Chains A and B, each alone.
Chain A
């Protein structure tokens, strides 16, 4: 090193002969600390544990009335729509946003599918495509306002919620399309309501759609560049931009995809209700956010896994049905879910401390 003679370097020569081995910390970590680390790496573990515990408790209390393929798959059917909308919500919340318009987009898209078929006589499959396109368009508007105009997602989607819902009522003239008409003329609209049996278990295609969607998104988020970018944007958008992520493009695609998934939920909704009703799905917003939060996904963005959201949705489903079967006042369900939400956020904060 030429600089060794320089006065500036004299103190550096003191490092000569220092052991080259790297500091190795003997981690006398407590079990709690290790658990915290595991959770940091696998954030969906907490909701999974809670879910399994809930199933075990209700199985113990209710026996085979609850712990049967039929009842357990009934829970899946009941959470199918929440799970699909929750998938859309997950994407947005991972970018540190929130989408209050998911329910409205779902309903408007289902109305478009129904009305395009029955009012304009378009082929039902084409009407379905139009419904999906409608969801994409709503998502695009959300995404553009958030990414290009830099408006806060909460405000943008709060506004879009009202706008889309009002559009839905104006366009549909508050008119329900009856189930019989759909059965006769456009059964494909009810496709996701059809079911098949595997032993005692009953699956609807809506349940299958939800599971496939969550698994596909889980793969995309974990194993593709786009998925990594979604996390990076939610983590720290400025850093992501400097590191070479096209932040605005990622945001727009997230909201568009969220819109399309909501439209898919609209199609599944028709299958579940049998009819097309502009007043359906009023609670999809809050249910999807609940599933996401209980699922351990951070509202601050960039952390959590979509599987956690699925577990979160299932936890709500298990509590609702289990408590109903026990014959308790439904208010107990809300009380417990409220406690779970707060508990989940507390756990999220605790896991974050791992870095500190």
Chain B
């Protein structure tokens, strides 16, 4: 099986900091790939390089076997890659519905939409409300409330709902449960499985080992700006994974079949 998303030799420097050091990456169709690593290991930079948020200094990315080079998140999104960034990327003063549809707004049918470019507020609000209800996030009373009036966890929920709703090829989640409560984290994990059940592969960055070991099909261990190894959760314990990640233990050789898992 060919990877749906593949990267080779990605390099990204910030001044003298090398955030990505000839990093390779593979995502297989239909899988949940967890990416773990220390703070500052370069996980966020890796997914930004893939999703067009940063342009790598070197290296190539293939989507569906075709070489791509995204220069903006909008381009990656157009290709079906939907991302929840660690910073969430929300406009605080705008409403939940506005934020969910940022850059892909729905317009009214007929002349109001085509000539006067009027937004179809009711449709956008209904969609947003439905998606948040699916996530069990209707602690939110008013879909028109400004995002800045939401709690950190609620904001994260909105961002995850946005990505899950629109992702068509790949969904990338950078620490989607970092601010969530126990129940809400559970819902996000369920949502991740739902998305996979729709046949869409997911990249999940997380520091939460139990979550990672629970949902991941494969685990990409990131260290010092590059892929250290990829393991299967059933082959190792969480302590092993943490030991590899922190350099306390020698990483296993990457087994050749690891890049072609039977999902």
Contacts and interface: CB of A to CB of B under 8 A. Distances in A.
B88 A239 contact: yes
Contacts of B102: 228-229, 232, 240, 243-245
Q: How large is the interface on B (under 10, 10 to 19, 20 to 34, 35 or more residues)?
A: 35 or more
Interface in A3-40: 3, 6, 8-9, 11-12, 15, 18, 22-23, 40
Interface in A55-70: none
7 contacts: A23-B139, A224-B118, A229-B103, A239-B88, A242-B87, A246-B74, A355-B92
Interface in B169-199: 182-183, 186
Instruction: Give the bracket for the number of chain A residues in contact with chain B.
Output: 35 or more
A225 interface: yes
A11 B182 CA distance: 9
Contacts of A243: 73, 89-91, 99, 102-103
A354 interface: yes
A240 B85 CA distance: 12
B54 to A, nearest CB: 10
Interface of A: 3, 6, 8-9, 11-12, 15, 18, 22-23, 40, 219-220, 223-226, 228-229, 231-232, 235-236, 238-246, 302-303, 354-355
Interface of B: 53, 72-74, 77, 83, 85, 87-94, 98-99, 102-105, 107, 116-119, 121, 138-139, 146, 148-149, 182-183, 186, 209-210, 213-214
Contact of B94 (A23, A40, A231): A231
Contacts of B138: 22
Contact of A240 (B91, B118, B213): B91
A105 to B, nearest CB: 26
Contacts of B118: 223-224
Contacts of A244: 73-74, 77, 102-104
Contacts of A224: 116-119
A168 to B, nearest CB: 35
Contact of A242 (B73, B105, B148, B213): B73
A244 B121 CA distance: 19
B214 A242 contact: no
Contacts of B73: 241-244
Contacts of A11: 182
Contacts of A246: 72, 74, 103
Contact of B139 (A22, A226, A241, A242): A22
Nearest to A302: B93
Contacts of B92: 235-236, 302, 355
A15 B185 CA distance: 12
Contacts of B89: 238-240, 242-243
B53 A242 contact: yes
A235 B74 contact: no
Contact of B91 (A15, A226, A235, A354): A235
Contacts of A355: 92, 146, 148-149
A225 B91 CA distance: 14
A226 B117 contact: yes
Contacts of A220: 117
Given A11-B182, A12-B186, A244-B77, A239 B87 contact: yes
A15 B180 CA distance: 14
A93 to B, nearest CB: 14
Given A223-B119, A243-B90, A354 B214 contact: no
Given A243-B99, A244-B102, A355-B149, A231 B182 contact: no
Given A240-B91, A244-B104, A9 B214 contact: yes
A107 B24 CA distance: 58
Nearest to B107: A225
A78 B245 CA distance: 70
Contacts of A239: 87-91
Contacts of B210: 6, 8-9
Contacts of A15: 182-183, 186
B136 to A, nearest CB: 9
Q: Which 4 A-B pairs have the closest CB atoms?
A: A244-B103, A8-B210, A242-B89, A355-B148
Nearest to B211: A8
Nearest to A298: B93
Nearest to B104: A244
A238 B119 CA distance: 24
Contact of B149 (A3, A231, A245, A354): A354
A6 B139 CA distance: 29
Given A6-B214, A244-B102, A245-B103, A235 B93 contact: yes
A8 B237 CA distance: 12
Best-buried of A9, A220, A231, A243 by chain B (most CB within 10 Å): A243
Contacts of A228: 94, 98, 102, 105, 119
Contacts of B98: 228, 232
Given A9-B214, A239-B91, A243-B103, 4 more contacts: A15-B182, A225-B117, A239-B87, A242-B83
B214 A231 contact: no
Nearest to B166: A244
Nearest to A245: B103
A239 B118 CA distance: 24
B204 to A, nearest CB: 15
Nearest to B119: A223
A13 to B, nearest CB: 10
Contacts of B88: 239
B184 to A, nearest CB: 10
Q: Which of B93, B138, B148 has the most CB of A within 10 A?
A: B93
Contacts of A40: 146
Contacts of B146: 40, 355
